[in-house]
Amino acid sequence: MAVKQKNLNRTLALKPIVFAKESNKKLAELIMEADEACATVGERIMHDMVIGVDGPVPDYSYFYNNLEFYENGAVFFELWSFIPGRMPAGFTPDLKAKNAKYDVAQIVDGDGNAKELIQISHVLIYNNAAVVEATKGTGGAFLVEKYLNKLLRERCAKRPPHVAFTTAISSDLLNEILQGGGAVSVSLGMVGAKQESDNRVVGLLSDAYSVFSRTELVTLSWSAGSKSTLSAEEVVTEARTAKDDNLDKIFIKLKHGSIKGLSKYRITSPIVVRDAGGRNPDHKEVKEAMIDYLGRLLQPDAKGRRMLDDEGNLINNG
């Protein structure tokens, strides 16, 4: 009797790329420059360090793997991340190899089930846009952004400006705010402090979180005057800077109605891929789905409208 093939549901998220200051190179070009100094896994692995009993030790490690450049300037890679202290002997990626092998990413537990040791995210970059596939709990686009900034600082000849992956928000959000008579107030909340965030609101919430020892949720609210509304454009701009899993509560009170959460306004695409074992996706299928999704974002729809222009900028997403 044939074994029924299992499938996994994953989500591809569109992430506009923004530099903190003007950059004379695209992100893909900077990655290409850094890659010239990174012939092996060991030369491109980055660490989050903590102070241990015997001094600084790596608490979290990550590196790019299976990097591929395309003729149109696009670049694809996987981001592998793991906790060194939890890796059994013999399963740490070979630092002298050009690329790590998938067989070190899993180990079989006592019941014969595959146990994931290394988290693998998938990234496709095209000019000013990125498509990211990252299972919840892997750090998402924030971890990719964090890694790339570390890598580029250490491996590029000239230190580039900080790069951020923002959230692609459909124009439906702005339309709904305007149709509801405008935003009367906005509340943003967060459970737990977030470290190393470049988002000003997340920074404010993180600072406020430590004021009281038994805090569970910190919320900041902005309210317009009795006869006015907040700038709808500014509300949408703040929504675009929110990183994955950073904000646990987003509530927009309108003159007529309200908006709770932003999930339905994020520009994403669900995909179904084969389970390669242990609930790990077939990496080739994920890559092919990402390339297909990028192609659809660049192609005109039935009405002649495109989601992205040739530079990877959002257009006509209403």
Q: Which of 70-79, 113-122, 223-232 has the lowest mean pLDDT?
A: 113-122
Return d(Cα 82, Cα 266) in angstroms, integer.
Answer: 28
The pair of structure tokens assigned to 294 is: 């990028």
Residues 153 and 15 in one domain: yes
Residue with the bigger pLDDT between 237 and 29: it is 29
- Report pLDDT digits (tens) over 136-159: 666 788 899 999 999 999 999 899
Task: Let me know how many helices (H) and strands (E) the chain has, helices first.
Answer: 7, 14
The closest alpha carbon to 94, from 57, 148, 44, 40, belongs to 40
- Report pLDDT digits (tens) over 97-138: 999 987 755 555 666 666 667 889 999 999 999 999 977 666
Q: What is the overall mean pLDDT for the chain? A: 87
Return d(Cα 72, Cα 29) in angstroms, integer.
Answer: 12
pTM (2 decimals)? 0.85
The pair of structure tokens assigned to 56 is: 């600084």
Split into its structural domains, the chain has a count of 2
Q: Which domain holds residue 230?
A: 172-263
Token pair 């080739």 is found at 284
pLDDT for 242 beyond 70: no
pLDDT at 302: 83
Q: Is there a domain that residue 311 lies in?
A: no
Highest mean pLDDT, choosing among 72-86, 181-195, 198-212, 235-249 = 72-86
- Per-residue pLDDT, averaged over 41-70, amounts to 92
Return d(Cα 183, Cα 253) in angstroms, integer.
Answer: 6
pLDDT at 1: 45
Residues 11 and 134 in one domain: yes
Residues 248 and 216 in one domain: yes
Which residues 6+ apart lie within 8 Å of 37 measured at CB? 43, 155
Tell me how far CA of residue 260 lies from CA of 37, 99, 237, in angstroms. 46, 43, 17
Residues 101 and 178 in one domain: no
Residues 107 and 176 in one domain: no
Secondary element (H or E) of residue 270: strand 268-274
Residues 136 and 257 in one domain: no
